[in-house]
Structure 1
Amino acid sequence: MDAKRHIVHIDLDSFFVSVERKFNPSLIGKAVIIGGSADRGVVASCSYEARKFGVHSAMPTRQALKLCPHAIVIHGTHGRYSEASREVTQIIHNMVPLYQKSSVDEFYIDLSGMERFHDPFKLACELRQKVIRETGLPISFGMASGKTVAKMATNQAKPNGQLWIQHGQEKAFLAPLNIGKIPGLGESTCQKLYQYGIEKIGDLQRVNLKFLEAVFGKMGTYIYNKAHGIDDSEIIPHSDRKSISTEHTFESDVNDKRTLENILVSMTEELAGKLRRENKVASCLAIKIRYANFETHTQQTKIALTAAEHILIPGIKNLLNKAWNRHRPIRLIGVRLSNLCPGSYQINLFEDNEERIRLYQAMDNINFRFGDKTICRAAGMEIGARTFNPFLKG
């Protein structure tokens, strides 16, 4: 590439904890865990004070409390986090021409070409200060020629710092870091590299591409590029698609509640799985009912940002109870999840237990490998879930 790229990665430090500290300043400086109960819950987020003891997100809460017995456990408040995320997004939206919101607390910004009018690093510093000033939340950023190095620079700048890796300095910056710092490099890949005596990214930089391809196949090229700071991936602007939906028309009108609920469970599962694959969450839930005479009713409700069936399914059943006149048979039924925004399943971790998180991961992995609806809840199986073809709405 001839033109120099200026990519900024922004990350809100310990986002959930920082938001809670705004509402309760007595938590500042203390070991804080946002998560479920000590019995079967998991850690959604934790403060740097807790991380010093080895606590990290997705760890069982009981294990976290063994490592850090004095930690304060808070259940968490969905609304506060989504509102804080919206505030930060708005500030970024007003200040830069092109950005990508990759999760509830993480953004990529493309300032390439801006150097003709502004100093990109100075602009990024001003943006960071504006977020801190207007939201009171600590925020870190890294700036580099590509997304990967920018993200790794942010991780080195934390907590509450900033770091610019100038063009041509990428390999020198990466060299002393452990290979585990490379985003997307799993534990098993790292262990394999350790066996070859490759521990630092600098060691990786000295390895021949052919060797990496022989050991890791296509993944070898990925590893090689990351180690050399090569990343031409573009900033993908915020998606315009705001909803995802599916509906089912019955061959003969249905008046049986169990049949209707089973259909809804299956459709909701399918949509939720799609959201998780696309790394999206929804904050509005709707049901559509059409009676035999084609009279159509919809009912919707706001929900906390989620892509989890165990939250969505009870909400959908509740909407069915509100919308359906029991004396009238139904011709068509539909489900819509809307107000979509980027965000991973992490935002729900503090409501969940270990078994549930493992279940979702296992279901998604199997369905990803063998096709949608290979595995689903028993309720969804009763009505032949494979007959549905969800359609996406723009």
Structure 2
Amino acid sequence: MTRPNASPSATDATHSLAVIIFWLSSGAFAIGAGEFAAMSLLPYFASEFHASEAVAGHAISAYALGVVIGAPLIAMFASRLPRKHVLLALMGVFAVGNLLTALAPSMWTMDLARFLSGLPHGAFFGIAMLFAADIAGRDRRAQAVSQVILGLAIANIVGVPAVNYLGQELGWRLGFAMVAALACITVVMVWRTAPYKGPHPDAHPLAEIDAFRNRDVLLTLAMGAIGFGGMFAVYTYFSAAFLATTNAPAWGVSVILMIFGVGSTLGNIVAGALSGGRLLKAALALQILLGVASGFYAFSVGNVILMGASLFVIGLGGGLVVPLQTRLMDVAGNAQTLAAAMNHAAFNMANALGPWLAGMALTAGWGWRATGGVGVALSLGGIVIWMAMRWSDGRRPVETGATA
């Protein structure tokens, strides 16, 4: 039953939009479950292939390399293609990559399969968000972007634990097969529910390259690559710190990582609400939150309750991806597809930078608290870049309320 002041056509349009975004979010869920579950299943495929954990870790690096390489290349050459068709192809490649992972006969073939799985990652997120924002309209685009990303956040609550548990109980190959199956379902449902949207009329591969010459695009990507690194500095070493500094049972790690996933989910929802017309202010608020939470984590190491609370708040700060992704839509001009895809490549760079710096701090003997300190330092770096973004906005005319 509809409200008296709501026309059936408006209600149907709202319902249709919700269904489309749900299935785009389902694709994000599949990608998140596959990416993070691969880390938790590493000991099991390392054992089967008789490889050290360091060698098995090449599969994780191969996936990240696929993201960084695939995001710009696919975005440039797919810019003149209908976005719906590109999304279907990308999710299809992701399904094939995970199926090949589940069937891999050796470590090097698994590395190749993980590389293939990573290729569509950044481009899918970028194009899915542009697609959702386009059909939602300007007033609701930030919420549409946050709802697509929500699938990635929920994957940390449900998908990763489920894939990890079944992988432990029934074999790691089943975990990747489940991800492939979900990706196939997403292909079918996006094909059935999403409307046909032609390519952007001004899109062109050479025009997409302009993103790399756009100061505002580069600054936004830099804030993601550096400011977001603090979250990964803490998250990567949390399990080891928890087991080394507390007397809590090992299952406590899974519980707190689920709490982190809840925080991440809420962070994306809140960021979507905050970002409407206030992108830079929302980005600054979330960057400060990440820095404060990282500092709190540094002092909480060894205390189970406080470590859980700090991981929850760090998850909230992860909503930073929403205002940064939405800002890219404002400043990218005709390079929309490449800029949106590169945002996720930037976050994968953060995933490399944060753990690398935190690992250096641990190697130097500074202790587990140092990972939180690295998070604070990277958040400060993000704030410095935010100041440069603000300065850049002051040097060009902007649409009132678009990015302030």
Q: TM-score, normalised by structure 1?
A: 0.30
Higher relative contact order (CA 8 A, sep 6+): 2
Q: TM-score, normalised by structure 2?
A: 0.30
Name whichever structure is richer in helix by fraction.
2
Name whichever structure is richer in strand by fraction.
1
Q: Which has the larger radius of gyration?
A: 1
